[in-house]
Amino acid sequence: MEIKELTVVYSEEQIQERVKELAVQINKDFEGKDLVVVCVLKGAFMFFSDLLKHLTVKPEIDFVRCASYGDSTNSSKTVSFTKDLEISIKGKHVLIVEDIVDTGHTISFLMSQLKARGAESLKLASVVEKVERREIDVVVDYPGFILEKGFIVGYGMDYAEKYRELGAIYEATVIE
């Protein structure tokens, strides 16, 4: 499979405006609270970086990386950590920052793991909430954009480790 064409779905300007709006809500919701913001690597790194620039709540930050084993466009239900947290979240409010919530398996795994570690609360921010392939009911507390369907790349999201650097989000037309 290769990408034949890219069509802008969300422009850089739209994304940056939405990030600022989400930050305002997050700042309000976590004012005066002990917050840890967790970036889900690799895809959320751009959203995470942009979001942090607008947070006034002075959070601790950490990173996780989860792997779901499957091919490039289909993930399986088996999820594991390939990079775990380095700081304790016990008794702290946790905001997970994700690039896309698709089937829900990865984020469901991550949330159950972090809840078991004693997080005071768990909230989820995702640049894109994609509903087409949802298999597990997951609440995205701070959705950037809701996408019904499509294969997207850019703004941290990839195809075969490419296209992450793009500032906008594109729908990819693929050829088999």
Q: Is the pLDDT of residue 75 over 80?
A: no
Q: Do 97 and 65 touch, CB atoms closer than 8 A?
A: no
Q: What is the pLDDT of residues 92-113, one digit of tens each?
A: 999 999 999 998 999 999 999 9
Q: What is the DSSP letter of 110?
A: H
Hey, which residues does 125 pair with through a beta bridge? 97, 142
pLDDT at 26: 99
**Residues near 161 by beta carbon (within 8 Å), at least 6 away in sequence:** none
20-56: pLDDT as tens digits = 999 999 999 999 999 999 999 999 999 999 999 999 9
User: Looking at residues 143-159, what average pLDDT do you find?
Assistant: 95
Please state whether beta strands 2-10 and 169-175 pair in parallel, antiparallel, or not at all (unpaired).
antiparallel
C-alpha span between 73 and 117 (Å, rounded) = 31
Class of domain 17-148: alpha beta
Q: Mean pLDDT over residues 143-167, rounded?
A: 95
Nearest to 3 by CA among 155, 150, 156, 167: 150
What is the pLDDT, as a whole number, of residue 154? 98
Give the Cα separation of 7 and 101 in Å (integer).
20
Band of the pLDDT at 70, cuts 50, 70, 90? low
Residue 69's pLDDT band, with cuts at 50, 70 and 90, is low
Question: Does residue 159 carry a pLDDT above 90?
Answer: yes
> Catalytic residues, which ones?
102
